[in-house]
Amino acid sequence: MTALHPTVARVTDRVIERSKPTRRRYLDLMAEQQESGISRPRLSCGNFAHGFAAAGEDKDAIRGLSGPNIAIVTAYNDMLSAHQPYGRYPEQIKIFAREAGATAQVAGGVPAMCDGVTQGQPGMDLSLLSRDVIALSTAIALSHGMFDAIALLGICDKIVPGLLIGALRFGHLPALLIPGGAMPSGLPHKENSASASCSPRARHPATSCSMPKLHPIQRRDVHVLRDPPFKQMKMELMGCPFRVRLHNPKTPCGSA
């Protein structure tokens, strides 16, 4: 195994030492939650009844504690091509959970904004703030105390950290970050950059490219439902996803 660079090793050691008190408090809190925190067996009758009232065919299984109940926290919307596939995930997860003797419920949804839409617009001011909103929304969704595990549906820059931060408040529960699928090729980079005046990356106000010319280029560049591969790699480095989806969700292998 390759040794860490001395500088990286020193920084790592400092972080470990400095974080010991707060990490100890966090681990103590998680142990307390595991031992005596809110959960289905500890809910009052009224709380519990509300928790499975809309569970449909899973109602009896949830009420009878016949298997683990998975919380689904979703960042689905139609604004992000990487998140649009999540629209069908909850029903699929519920089916797969039943086959494994478990149940699943959508615990809540979180916002997910697309920088590609808001860049250069006032909405971009909310981009970094949205991470904290996502973290809080995730924690609220999981606060119902009905769950034994967590499935987090999100992929983009602020969404993954926000989901993870919120889920870590319930770190005594196992959690999965589930990507939506890989991005196929769109407009080749060389072709994209071939014409400086009509490149989607051209930012000069005096560019000669008209909107009618620019739109077809952009449509080819951002053309399908996808996750950029580097975002899946980020999740891999954290050891978070249950598996890497190497296929686009609209392909036969991607929907398998």
CB 117 within 8 A of CB 81: no
Q: What's the confidence (pLDDT) of residue 123?
A: 82
Tell me the C-alpha distance between 253 and 37, whole Å: 40
Q: Helices 229-237 & 159-168, crossing angle to 10 degrees? A: 20
pLDDT score of 185 more than 60? no
Residues 103 and 136 sit within 8 Å (Cβ to Cβ) = no
Residue 28, classed as helix, strand or coil, is helix
Indicate the burial class of 201 (C-beta count within 10 angstroms; 0-12, 13-18, 19 or more): exposed
Q: What percent of the chain clears pLDDT 70, i.e. is strictly above it?
A: 70
Q: How confident is the model at residue 100 (pLDDT cuts 50, 70, 90)?
A: very high
Average model confidence (pLDDT) across the chain:
81
pLDDT exceeds cutoff 50 at 213: yes
Can you tell me whether residue 111 is helix, strand or coil? coil
Instruction: For residue 86, give the 3-state DSSP assignment.
Output: helix
Identify the CA nearest to 86 among candidates 218, 179, 202: 179
By C-alpha distance, which of 108, 106, 124 is closest to 116?
Answer: 124
30 three-state secondary structure = helix
Q: What is the pTM assigned to this prediction?
A: 0.78
Query: Where do you find CATH 3.40.50 in the chain?
Result: 46-184+225-256
In this structure, of 12-26, 117-131, 164-178, the range with the lowest mean pLDDT score is 117-131
Output the 3-class SS for 132-159. Answer: HHHHHHHHHHHCCCCCCEEEEECCCCCH
> Can you tell me the distance from the alpha carbon of 29 to that of 42, in angstroms, rounded to the nearest whole number?
18
Dist. CA 80–CA 88, nearest whole Å: 15
Side-chain half-sphere CA neighbours of 183 within 13 A: 24
* pLDDT greater at residue 111 or residue 187: 111
CATH architecture, domain defined by 46-184+225-256: 3-Layer(aba) Sandwich (3.40)
Instruction: Name the nearest CA neighbour of 181 among 91, 250, 93, 110.
Output: 250
Strand partners, 74: 109, 153
CA nearest neighbour of 109 among 77, 132, 80, 79: 77
Radius of gyration of the chain (CA): 22
Position 197 scores a pLDDT of 46
**Interior angle at CA 227, CA 241 and CA 159, nearest 5:** 65
